[in-house]
Amino acid sequence: MASVGIVGIGSYVPPREMSNDDWAQIVETSDEWISTKTGMKKRRIADPDVSTSDLAVEACKIAIEDAGLKTSDIDLLILATSSPDVPMSSTAGIVQDKLGCTECAAFDINAVCAGWVHALDVGSRYAGTPGYENVLVVGSEVYSRILNWDDRTTCVLFGDGAGAAVISEVEDGRGVLGSWLMSDGSGSSVIEIPAGGVRTPIPSEGFVDGMQYFHMDGRAVWNFAIEAFPEAVRMVLEKVGRTLEEVDLIIPHQANINIIEAGMENLGLPMSKTFTNLHKYGNTAGASVPLALKEAIDEGVVGPGSLVITAAFGGGLAWGANAIVL
């Protein structure tokens, strides 16, 4: 099969910024508490008239331009999101229409915070095959709209944003070397929105106000993530026949600086081998990995020929990693 990889990358965050001090005016918290517990300082919040698809469109435009392509060149659009514009139809289809990719298939993937890592694997399997020369893989989230802003344990953690990459054929030795993905559905209730689906419609006999918002068991997530992150890195490297010593940079899901530090310690690697921007954007869920990858490239931390591992973990439970030579 042809080697395929990232030929264009883009990201977008809304202009409105909220600091820890801003959150302290809304719920009982403080800059010191948030910074110590998460490493977060700021996050971006979408305006009320801006949806997940709108952020995705902006990131996609930048990625397509970076690839030297036009929107009409895109053959497939895969959107990773757990905060869709509407429950039905596909938000990927809405993005396709707004972009003007008229000759293009489009579908959503929901693996929550691990969404883009899953989408990149799927997209790399399509790219370079007949009819799918250029595949657009985007992660976009507006979590500010699905949070309970009275719940101080969750509302301060998340921000809004989008990141996208164009996957096309590249020269041998470059590209997506492989991916490793895993799920554990027995932990599906650890991170969920309990109501709004067919199990508990809104309204229904079983519905209680508040169930329509994001819920998370923080301790269970910690216990899961500090093991899942390093496992995903090790497993993808084993799958593609590479070693930790060969890795130039690890781009982890930007969930919590303490989780990232614990994972890197587990791997026996210094923090200089990873890249974080959660202090600026908070946890942007399925958008966090491409957002961080774009910034790492822009800042010259990695470049052509670098071996990068993108790793993520989140609701589902779902986790995984991609091995990429830029």
20 is catalytic: no
Measured CA to CA in angstroms, residue 108 lies from 4, 49, 79, 93 at distances of 21, 22, 5, 8
3-state secondary structure 272-289: HHECCCHHHHCECHHHHH
- Rounded CA-CA distance 75/225 in Å is 35
CB burial of residue 256 (10 Å; 0-12, 13-18, 19+): buried
Q: Where are the beta strands (DSSP E) in 146-214?
A: 161-169, 175-183, 191-192
DSSP 105-165: EEEEE--GGGHHHHHHHHHHHHTTBTTBSSEEEEEEE-GGGTS-TT-TTTTTTB--EEEEE
Active-site entry in 20, 134, 283, 322:
283
244 phi and psi angles, rounded to 5 deg: -60, -35
Q: Which one-letter amino acid corresponds to residue 185?
A: G
Active-site entry in 60, 104, 113, 155:
113
134 is catalytic: no
Active-site entry in 20, 60, 215, 253:
253
* Run of H or E residues at 33: helix 31-38
113 is catalytic: yes
Q: What is the CA radius of gyration of the chain?
A: 19
Q: Catalytic residue numbers?
A: 113, 253, 283
